[in-house]
């Protein structure tokens, strides 16, 4: 059903995006069209990546998922960086972290928990991920922020570049650990049995879909970024709110849907892996990569979030770790995460 809706959305959305932007339709209308089109295209990119991952086997497949899993977010952010919208990029990174941990995690636990009294997932993965969340969000994000108060802008950027390089190296090491040296050591039976699935599309079909959808996402993202200012003015939203809530939801819609479906099917390992794994990918790979990419643009981006953004992410990490450390979820834990997301949403809306 999703697939058909996405297909129709693309068939209609892409041409509408082109026409609308040429004819200078109102920004809010264009904004809605662009968002819907990107969500649909992201669904196709996800299916293509999934097919390629199954064909390539677990190692290369894991690598593919780890690199292309947040491609849409990356593409939108690069265009926003190019347009000099650094605070929007930082806000949308924040929004992705909050959205994955609190909204996706919360909805998965809550909806899954309405059907099942208790849902279990691999506790080793949860602990491994907890360590990485502390490293990425708490250590690597907080540190440049605290030092930025005492450093000049050039030194602050130098520190951000160092932090970014170290994070990408550690992200690669984490893949090596998970896919090579300790494959199966901590994994649950589910992940090991993952290889049984059959790919939806053939290798070439998947590659072509991936290429075309990526090109289309890039085209629409570039247009989308330029609507932020006017949409914000028209609707009374700050650019930060657009970044933190809207871009984050658009950029991650496809994953959100599949995590909740997995929770509903009681495949809690997969739901947690999507929510937390995707957060780690954003924090340890997309964010540092954007810092490095921004060095080639006019305005470079230091990894220095605003204090509310940073605090929100750190609190989300502590809450998630505290609720997932026992390897067991229920509807109330989901509701707690959603309550935290709602509080943060109100806060950023008022800002």
Q: Report the interface residues with a second copy, using CB under 8 A.
A: 117-118, 124, 127, 130-132, 134-135, 138-140, 142-144, 146-147, 149-151, 155, 158-159, 162-163, 166-167, 169-170, 173-174, 177, 181-182, 185, 307-308, 311-312, 315, 318-319, 321-323, 325-326, 330-333, 335-336, 339-340, 342-344, 346-347, 350-351
Q: Is 245:348 a contact under the CB 8 Å cutoff?
A: yes
The two tokens of residue 79 are 């265009």
Q: Is 239:85 a contact under the CB 8 Å cutoff?
A: yes
Q: Tell me the closest approach of the beta carbon of residue 58 to a second copy, in angstroms.
A: 18
Nearer to a second copy, 257 or 306 (CB): 306
Nearer to a second copy, 125 or 255 (CB): 125
Nearer to a second copy, 84 or 308 (CB): 308
Nearer to a second copy, 74 or 167 (CB): 167
Cα angle: 266, vertex 271, 273; to 5 degrees: 135
63: nearest Cα among 166, 146, 180: 180
Q: Tell me the closest approach of the beta carbon of residue 265 to a second copy, in angstroms.
A: 21
Cα angle: 161, vertex 64, 257; to 5 degrees: 100
Q: Is 138 exposed, middle or buried (0-12, 13-18, 19+ CB in 10 A)?
A: middle
How far apart are the C-alpha atoms of 248 and 311, rounded to whole Å? 17
Q: 225 by DSSP, 3-state: which?
A: helix
How far apart are the C-alpha atoms of 299 and 296, rounded to whole Å? 8
Q: Tell me the closest approach of the beta carbon of residue 278 to a second copy, in angstroms.
A: 19
Q: Tell me the closest approach of the beta carbon of residue 213 to a second copy, in angstroms.
A: 34
Nearer to a second copy, 182 or 233 (CB): 182
Q: Is 54:260 a contact under the CB 8 Å cutoff?
A: no
Q: Is 159:151 a contact under the CB 8 Å cutoff?
A: yes
Nearer to a second copy, 200 or 326 (CB): 326
How far apart are the C-alpha atoms of 213 and 222, rounded to whole Å? 14
For residue 139, what are the contacts with CB-CB under 8 A and spacing of at least 6?
A: none
Q: Tell me the closest approach of the beta carbon of residue 29 to a second copy, in angstroms.
A: 30
The two tokens of residue 165 are 């390089």
Nearer to a second copy, 32 or 87 (CB): 87
């Amino acid at each position: 059903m999703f697939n058909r809706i996405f297909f129709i959305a693309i068939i209609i959305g892409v041409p509408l995006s082109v026409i609308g932007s040429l004819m200078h339709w109102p920004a809010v209308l264009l904004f809605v069209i662009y968002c819907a089109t990107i969500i649909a295209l992201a669904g196709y990119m996800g299916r293509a990546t999934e097919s390629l991952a199954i064909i390539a086997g677990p190692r290369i497949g894991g690598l593919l998922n780890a690199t292309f899993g947040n491609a849409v977010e990356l593409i939108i952010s690069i265009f926003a960086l190019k347009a000099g919208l650094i605070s929007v990029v930082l806000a949308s990174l924040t929004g992705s972290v909050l959205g994955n941990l609190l909204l996706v995690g919360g909805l998965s636990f809550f909806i899954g928990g309405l059907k099942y009294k208790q849902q279990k997932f691999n506790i080793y993965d949860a602990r491994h991920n907890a360590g990485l969340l502390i490293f990425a969000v708490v250590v690597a994000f907080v540190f440049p922020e605290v030092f930025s108060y005492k450093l000049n802008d050039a030194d602050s950027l130098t520190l951000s570049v160092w932090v970014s390089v170290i994070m990408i190296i550690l992200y690669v090491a984490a893949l090596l650990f998970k896919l090579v040296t300790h494959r199966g050591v901590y994994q649950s039976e589910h992940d090991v049995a993952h290889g049984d699935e059959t790919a939806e599309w053939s290798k070439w079909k998947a590659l072509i879909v991936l290429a075309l959808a990526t090109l289309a996402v890039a085209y629409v993202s570039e247009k989308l970024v330029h609507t932020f200012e006017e949409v914000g003015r028209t609707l009374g939203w700050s650019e930060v709110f657009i970044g933190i809530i809207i871009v984050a939801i658009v950029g991650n819609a496809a994953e959100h849907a599949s995590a909740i479906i997995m929770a509903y099917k009681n495949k809690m390992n997969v739901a947690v892996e999507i929510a937390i794994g995707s957060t780690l990918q954003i924090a340890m790979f997309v964010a540092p990569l954007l810092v490095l990419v921004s060095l080639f643009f006019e305005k470079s981006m230091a990894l220095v979030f605003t204090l509310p953004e940073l605090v929100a992410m750190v609190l989300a990490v502590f809450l998630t770790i505290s609720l997932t450390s026992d390897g067991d979820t229920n509807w109330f834990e989901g509701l707690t995460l959603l309550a935290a997301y709602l509080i943060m949403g109100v806060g950023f809306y008022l800002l």
